[in-house]
Amino acid sequence: MGQAYRASFREKMIKLLLVDDHGPLRKALREGLEATGAIQVVGEAATGREAVGRALELDMDVILMDVQLQDPQASRSALSGVGAAVAIRRERPRMPVVFYSIQDDDEYYREFRASGILTHYAYVRKSNYLLPSMLVPLLRDAVNGRSLVDPEIEDRVQEVRDLDEQSPRALLEPNELRVAELMAQGMTNEQIAARLNLHDKRAVSRTNGRIYASWGLSENAVDDKVARARATLIYNLNRMIIWDENGVALVQDRRGEWVPLYRE
């Protein structure tokens, strides 16, 4: 880095916790950030669990964290970067965090939107590499309480919000949603009635009918078994699906066009 760049950051050294599950990238980031003269990496973590532990024991100013964090030991219960930040903020309120990601999965944007993280953060799109010259200003802004969402990510967060507002589950009342959930778990009507302590088992059949109607499944001449299977698929994917006359499942793409759910 040139002298002019170093001079522009002759402020208080930023103490950083670096979280990334990719060892070589984490090493390169550490070396690049420390070479700016503005950052002191006081700790590293490779998983969300490690990040929470390190954040509670270290004296730091900000966290730089990848959104996707693999944790072989935690399997399904692995914390993402957003989940780790939420857990950390329970103990250290509004701890500044800069997230970065190359992921384009709706669930990451959905998790970020639902996290309630409103201040002291930045969320930026990661290309093939991260430049310290781009990260240092974001880190300093987060430390100073300023927030930023990369425009591309902001568009995707809004897109996911729009999808969720149109989600099939949003069309059901709470009791219908519970029946749909148990149906999707493979329970029979009798088992669902027992689980919900219903005195009239026919109530489940009536609720099924309302679910089918809400999801457009009663409009087709299909028997209950087919409607049940299709409702299970809609519930699990939480996407509206229609079936053409040949039984091909169709979903809407980002342009609003109906395309096959399963590619041959």
For residue range 10-54, list pLDDT tens digits in order.
568 999 999 999 999 899 899 999 999 999 999 999 999 999 999
What is the pairing mode between strands 62-66 and 97-101?
parallel
**CATH assignment at residue 187:** 1.10.10.10
Range in 84-93, 193-202, 212-221 the model is least confident about: 212-221
**CATH assignment at residue 160:** 3.40.50.2300
Q: Taking a C-beta distance cutoff of 8 angstroms, is the pair 85, 117 a contact?
A: yes
**Is 160 in the same domain as 194?**
no
Identify the domain boundary among 110, 132, 164: 164
Q: Phi/psi of residue 60, each to 5°?
A: -145, 165
How far apart, in whole angstroms, are the C-alpha atoms of residue 185 and residue 58? Answer: 43
How far apart, in whole angstroms, are the C-alpha atoms of residue 87 and residue 108? Answer: 16
Going from the C-alpha of 172 to that of each of 64, 118, 181, 227, 234, the distances in angstroms are 39, 29, 11, 16, 12
Question: What is the percent of the chain with per-residue pLDDT over 70, rounded to a whole number?
Answer: 88
For residue range 117-154, list pLDDT tens digits in order.
888 998 887 655 567 888 999 999 999 999 988 887 88
What letters, b where the CB count within 10 A reaches 16 and e where it falls short, cover 157-194? beebeebeeeebeeebeeebbebbebbeeebebeebbe
Q: What is the pLDDT of residue 20?
A: 94
Q: Taking a C-beta distance cutoff of 8 angstroms, is the pair 98, 122 a contact?
A: yes
Helix (H, G, I), strand (E, B) or coil at 166: coil
Q: What is the pLDDT of residue 107?
A: 78
Helix (H, G, I), strand (E, B) or coil at 18: strand
**Is 172 in the same domain as 102?**
no
For residue range 175-202, list pLDDT tens digits in order.
899 999 999 999 999 999 999 998 777 8
Q: What is the domain range of residue 181?
A: 168-260
Count of domains forming the chain:
2
How far apart, in whole angstroms, are the C-alpha atoms of residue 167 and residue 154? Answer: 20
**3-state SS of the chain: helix, strand, coil percent to 5?**
50, 15, 35
Q: What is the pLDDT of residue 4?
A: 45
